[in-house]
Amino acid sequence: MKPTNIHNPDYFHKVVDCQWACPAHTPVPEYIRLIAAERYTEAYMLNWDSNVFPGILGRTCDRPCEPACRRVRTEEKPVAICRLKRVAADYKGDITDYLPPVPKKKNGFRVALLGCGPASLAVARDLLPLGYEVHMFEKDPAGGGMMRTQIPAFRLPADVLEEEVDLILDMGVECHFGHEITSMKEMLDMGFDAYFVGTGAPRGRDLDIPGRAESDAHISIGIDWLSSVAFGHTTSIQGKVIVMGGGNTAMDCCRTSKRLGAESVHVVVRSGFDVMKASEWEKEEAMLEGIPIINNRPPREFVHEGGKLKGIWFTCIEQVPDENGRLKSVPTGEPDVFMEADHVLMAIGQENHCPWIERDLGIEFDKWDCPVLDEITFQSTNAKVFFGGDSAFGPENIIWASAHAHQAAISIHLMCQGKDLKKDRPPRGVNLISQKMGVHEWSYDSEHDPAKRVFVPHSKLDKTLSNIKVEVELGFDARLGAHEAQRCLNCDIQTVFTEKLCIECDACVDICPMDCISFVENGEEAELRTRLMAPAENLEQDLYVSEALPTTRVMVKDEDLCLHCGLCAERCPTNAWDMQKSVFHLPQLGSYAE
Amino acid sequence: MTFVAKPTARHPSLKINEIGLTRRDYEGSVSTLCAGCGHDSVSAAIVSACAELGLPPHKFLKISGIGCSSKTPNYFLGHSHGFNSVHGRMPSVATGASLANKELYCLGISGDGDSASIGFGQFAHIVRRRINMLYIVDNNGTYGLTKGQFSATNDLGSTSKRGVPNLYEPIDLVSMAMQIGATFVARSFSGDKRQLVGLIKAGLMHRGFSFIDVISPCVAFNNHNGSTKSFAHMRNMQREVVSADYVAPQVEMQIDYAAGETEDVTMPDGAHLRLRKLHSDYDPHDRLHAINYLGERGREGEVVTGLLYVKSDTENTHDILNLVDTPLNSLDEEDLCPGLDALESINQSFR
């Protein structure tokens, strides 16, 4: 194998599994260390800079970082990254002094942001400090988009939402709320320098089975129903409720129904339990609240009598893997099942829907009715129009909206400056900073803490089920947060090897608790992976290979299970190993960190 | 040295041996030796060897004298018996302990100061008596604990860190051991675990007195240019003649080398000692030849390593003294004090 180029910004970035998995690449270990040091405000700002909504995400994020966490591989449970983010938000001090200044004198460019969801808000946050005049158009009377309309208050209290939304609006956004956009052409005629479409994926899917039309009065689309609850238009739901669907919207619908007075609530899912789209913890919460989840039951027909819904017939299937390992639905042959229902909530997915964008404006759409976009710049086929968030590539999570927004903001800025959106795009970079403070002193807490994941306290069930505004998860307090923070392995503190200092004494090989380090003859990667101290079987994790040493051998480190405990560097007599913090520079406008 | 203990977390695919333990279960407490010390590699090799053999740690007696080397028993086999004795007196204590309980695997760790200087006399006599044990010398040619004076194994002309040459002839413990009755004699290098782990396994299972002289560089005081016990010197001048490994009785014999290259020596427990000759002229069963060969190559500045001499059908102290099968420490009062009548009959036999 060729020697590893550790100055490639992606090499060590990949080692920081959580940060690599995060769409916005939030520097997770860095803010966890700040939390451990009780520097909550700094931890919050580091998050705010990268993902824009730490308080909201600390409660609602889809957490792609957690399954990626190295601790899943070294033991079992990941660090509770999301809940730690919430600790930073809950305990932060006054952040006013940390906010980027917004110039009074504008730079002369006007940008229209359509929709006031997370994507548009994040674009506004990035552009305002550069002097852009930002106009935001939103059909609802208040900002927040799906964060307000689709996430119930028992998961995300209104004050947390409003604090982070208002923070951005107060930076100087020209708000045009209660303004439903009916024509993109009209918007373009207003002559803005750039347009950002962040209108989400606002159409909930429907089901075309017998009895659907006749039972219409008793069937609601999940996201629309949640939205009407959020704005107080719906305050109760009566009788037996069936929620159809297996995603997070289904979980929010069933839990909301339970709180609004339903006699009984059942979730019925077409597929098996394990392949449901809902996050693990959302399913757990619903079941803890006594809501049964019934799997492998595709609906056959709605039964109605005189315009009144009676119930639903379901067929029985099971999912078996086909020859390619993909799950296929096969009828089990059991008789169909009838379930009584007075009200049905449909949460079977949502999609992009832009009927208000005329198709002769140079904005092309693909066969799924999604806009044709450049995946790096988020520019549509109309050079002035950009998309981000769910309206770009379909429904995702808030954290994706932040990530899209940073890139779209860079593109808008480059375009307004008359620069090329790709060639002039600022590159990624990495800085490596030694953490050595003394002979055996490191500027991070290198010792490995074998503690188990800390449980998060919850409100009492009778309290939360009787009031939709009572938050279910209470979050860690400072003490529990500090405990959990200690579990972080500091994967951003890298083991950096300097060939010319190595005397091949084997001290690092002997001390490494995870058998990551080997000194062997070089070879092809596949074969080399079998010859190490422990076989390197996780192909998603790279091998760190040195130049040839005096004995012609090379140092090979399997990055997979390294605990970043620094013992290799402690035991190295010549400092050939050093622990260095990798700081990634991910281009972003108006960054607080820069 | 480090103050941070090695984390208990381990690689999930680590091998579990016959008695349900992994290599990590054979480790000891955190080493306080200098970072990079060869002795830590020797300890790691002992850990690997014991884990691969699947021996129960509580059946070990590890015993040492004084010096850097003699601290190391604390850093391996944390769940075994240990005795850190007086400077140079490890052989006396080991003799007593081995006689008291022949069922323990007796593992002595010493250094060049402990065995070739203050304890040279003791060393000679434990070899002569053929105590059933593995005696390892961590040989770095220097007195590391007292800041780098030449030890008795330091080669003539080898220089100190400040460039001053040594004026005296070295004591070669390997030749010494061969001359006075050791039945398993090897030399190895702490930086060559492949060789060392095999030798330790073979030496532990050898029934008789096994001796391994391990060149183990002192990174603080004897790892410079001009030293003949440095990592670089050993890597250049090491010449392996015979590699050895222990093949357990239940393992089927397989020849995986070209014919004539390997030789399996049957051991009393039905196991085999697998020798692999890396040098066609060398015969590890001929003691005089071995001693001559070492002398010749040594004159050329080469360091001959590997299994240098082995004699498997041999007697150890327990056989020589014709001791009972029961370990002496398990004999009960009736056996130990058979009474006046027995004494009388013994006395009669001398009349």
Query: What tens digit of pLDDT does each residue of B104-134 get?
Result: 999 999 999 999 999 999 999 999 999 999 9
Q: Give SS3 for B45.
A: helix
Q: Which of A101-105, A107-111, A585-589, B55-59 has the lowest mean pLDDT?
A: A585-589
Instruction: Kindly list the residues of chain B whose beta carbon comes within 8 Å of any beta carbon in chain A.
Output: 1-4, 6-14, 24, 34-38, 40-41, 43-44, 190-191, 193, 217, 219, 223, 231-232, 235
The Cα–Cα gap between B136 and B212 comes to 5
Is A505's CB within 8 Å of B14's CB?
A: no
Say yes or no for a CB contact (<8 Å) between A570 and B11: no
Task: Look up the CATH superfamily of A204-348.
Answer: FAD/NAD(P)-binding domain (3.50.50.60)
Q: Are A465 and A259 in contact (CB under 8 A)?
A: yes
Name the minimum distance, in Å, from the CA of A506 to any CA of chain B.
7
Residues contacting residue B322 through CB under 8 Å, at least 6 positions apart = none
Which amino acid appears at position A173 of this protein? V
Distance, CA of B215 to chain centre: 12
Backbone torsion region of residue B221, taken as left when φ is above 0, otherwise alpha when ψ lies between -120 and 50, otherwise beta: alpha
Q: Where are the domains of chain A?
A: 101-201+352-416, 204-348
Do A394 and A404 form a contact (C-beta atoms < 8 A)?
no
Q: Which of A437, A503, A531, A538 to mutate to test the interface with B (most CBs of B within 10 A)?
A: A503
Q: Tell me whether residues A450 and B4 touch, CB distance under 8 A.
A: no
Give the closest of A73, A75, A506 to B41, CB-based.
A506
CA distance B118 to A179: 95
Q: Which residues of B touch A440 (CB under 8 A)?
A: 1-4
- Are A510 and B2 inside 8 Å of each other by CB? no
- pLDDT at residue A150 is higher than 80: yes
* Cβ-based burial of B256 (10 A; exposed 0-12, middle 13-18, buried ≥19): exposed
C-alpha A531/C-alpha A562 separation (Å) is 18
Q: Compute and round to an integer the Cα radius of gyration of chain B.
A: 21
Residue A187 has pLDDT above 50, yes or no: yes
Residue B259 DSSP SS3: coil
- Between B266 and A478, the more confident residue is A478
Q: Which residue has the tokens 């005096």?
A: A550
pLDDT band at A198 (very low <50, low <70, confident <90, very high): very high
State whether B3 and A571 contact (CB < 8 Å).
Answer: no
Task: Calculate the CA dihedral of residues A445, A449, A451, A453 and round it to 10 degrees.
Answer: 50
Q: Nearest-CA distance from B325 to chain A in Å?
A: 39
Q: A571: which chain B residues are within 8 Å (Cβ-Cβ)?
A: 2, 35-36, 40
CA-only gyration radius of chain A, Å: 26
- Which residue on chain A is closest to B191 by alpha carbon? A505
Mapping DSSP to helix (H, G, I), strand (E, B) and coil, where does residue B193 land? helix
| Position B2 pLDDT exceeds 80 | no
Contact present, B39 and B219 (Cβ < 8 Å): no
The answer to whether the Cβ–Cβ distance between B4 and A446 falls below 8 Å is yes
| Cα four-point dihedral sign A353, A359, A363, A366 | positive
ipTM of the complex: 0.90
Residue A488 has pLDDT above 70, yes or no: yes
Distance from CA of A433 to the nearest CA of B (A): 22
Q: To which CATH superfamily is domain A101-201+352-416 assigned?
A: FAD/NAD(P)-binding domain (3.50.50.60)
pLDDT digits (tens, 9 = 90+) for A88-130: 999 999 999 999 999 999 999 999 999 999 999 999 999 999 9
Q: What is the pLDDT of residue B251?
A: 63
Q: Which residues of A touch B12 (CB under 8 A)?
A: 73-74, 561
Mean pLDDT in chain B? 92
Count contacts between A and B (CB, < 8 Å): 93
Contact, B142 vs B221, CB < 8 A? yes
Q: How far is B109 from chain A (nearest CA, A)?
A: 19
| Mutant choice from B1, B4, B8, B197 vs A, greatest count of A C-beta within 10 A | B4
Cβ(A45)–Cβ(A592) under 8 Å?
A: yes
Residue, of B72 and A588, whose pLDDT is higher: B72
Residue B59 vs residues A197, A318, B80, B81: alpha-carbon distances, Å: 74, 56, 7, 8
Residue B259 has pLDDT above 50, yes or no: no
Residue partners of A137: CB distance under 8 A and separation at least 6? A112, A113, A114, A115, A116, A176, A179, A181, A187
Q: What percent of chain B has pLDDT over 90?
A: 82
| Residue of chain A whose Cα is closest to the Cα of B39 | A507
CA-closest candidate to residue A559, choices A496, A486, A481: A496
Question: What gap in Å lies between CA A489 and CA A477, rounded to an integer?
Answer: 21
Q: Is residue A212 packed enough to be buried (19+ CB in 10 Å), middle (13-18) or exposed (0-12)?
A: middle
Give the number of other Cβ atoms within 10 Å of residue B197's Cβ.
22
pLDDT (tens digit, 9 = 90+) per residue, A513-535? Answer: 999 999 999 999 999 999 999 99
A504 Cβ neighbours under 8 A, 6+ residues apart: A519, A549, A550, A551, A553, B191, B231, B235
Res. A590: pLDDT tops 80 = no
pLDDT in tens, A389-432: 999 988 889 999 999 999 999 999 999 999 999 999 998 999 99
Answer whether A551 sits within 8 Å of B41, measured CB to CB: no
Residue contact B34–A448, C-beta within 8 A: no
Q: Is the pLDDT of residue B257 over 70?
A: no
Whether the CB-CB separation of B172 and B211 falls below 8 Å is answered with no
Which residues in A have their CB inside 8 Å of a CB on B?
Answer: 73-75, 440, 446-448, 450, 503-507, 509-511, 513-515, 534-535, 537, 550-551, 561, 563, 565-567, 570-574
Q: What b-and-e string marks burial along B33-70, b requiring 16 or more CB atoms within 10 Å of the CB?
A: bbbbbbbbbbbbbbbbbbbbbebebeebbbbbbbbbbb
Q: Strands B238-247 and B303-310, how do they pair?
A: parallel
Say how far apart CA B45 and CA A189 lie, in whole Å: 78
CB-CB under 8 Å, B38 with A505: yes
pLDDT number for residue B253: 55
| Closest CB from A514, A551, A561 relative to B235 | A551
Is the pLDDT reported for residue B74 higher than 60? Answer: yes
Q: Any idea what DSSP says for residue A487?
A: T
Across the interface, do A534 and B14 touch by the CB < 8 Å criterion? yes
CB spacing of A571 vs B40 below 8 angstroms: yes
d(CA A223, CA A201): 10
Amino acid at A141: P
Query: For residues A96 and A86, what is the distance between their CA atoms, to the nearest angstrom?
Result: 19
pLDDT per residue over B157-185, tens digit each?
A: 999 999 999 999 999 999 999 999 999 99
Q: Do A507 and B2 touch (CB under 8 A)?
A: no
What span, in angstroms and rounded, lies between the C-alpha atoms of A523 and A530?
Answer: 10
B198, pLDDT greater than 50: yes
User: The domain B23-320: what is its CATH number?
Assistant: 3.40.50.970
**In chain B, what are the domain boundaries?**
23-320
Please tell me the distance from the alpha carbon of residue A136 to that of residue A576, in angstroms, as a whole number: 55
8 Å CB contact of B6 and A537: no
Can you list the positions of beta strands (E) in chain B?
60-64, 81-84, 105-111, 133-139, 142-143, 149-150, 184-189, 209-215, 238-247, 262-266, 272-277, 303-310
On average, the pLDDT of chain A sits at 93
8 Å CB contact of B4 and A566 = yes
Query: Which of B1, B3, B6 is best to mutate for the A interface (most A CBs within 10 A)?
Result: B6
Question: Is 90 exceeded by the pLDDT of residue B27?
Answer: yes
d(Cα A226, Cα A78) in Å, to the nearest integer?
31
**Are B231 and A505 inside 8 Å of each other by CB?**
yes
* Contact state of B235 with A550 under an 8 Å Cβ cutoff: yes
Q: How far apart are CA B339 and CA B22, in angstroms?
A: 49
- Greatest alpha-carbon span in chain B: 71
Q: Which of A398-407, B12-21, B192-201, B271-280 comes out lowest in average pLDDT?
A: B271-280
Chain A residues with CB under 8 Å of B232 CB are: 503, 550
Sign of CA dihedral A328, A334, A335, A339: negative
**Are the Cβ atoms of A510 and B44 closer than 8 angstroms?**
yes
Confidence (pLDDT) at A593:
44
How sure is the predictor about B297, in pLDDT bands with cuts at 50, 70 and 90?
very high
Residues from chain A contacting residue B37 (CB–CB below 8 Å): 507, 573
Q: Are strands A577-585 and A219-221 parallel, antiparallel or unpaired?
A: unpaired
Contact yes or no for B2 and A513 at CB 8 A: no
Let me know: does A105 contact A131? Beta carbons within 8 Å.
Answer: yes
DSSP-assigned letters across all residues of A125-178: HHHGGGT-EEEEEESSSSS-THHHHTS-TTTS-HHHHHHHHHHHHTTT-EEEET
Vertex A275: Cα angle to A273 and A280 (nearest 5): 70
User: pLDDT confidence of A78, banded at 50, 70, 90?
Assistant: very high
Contact B6 A513 (CB under 8 A): yes
Residue A468's CB is within 10 A of a number of other CB atoms, namely 17
The secondary structure element, H or E, covering residue A268 is strand A264-268
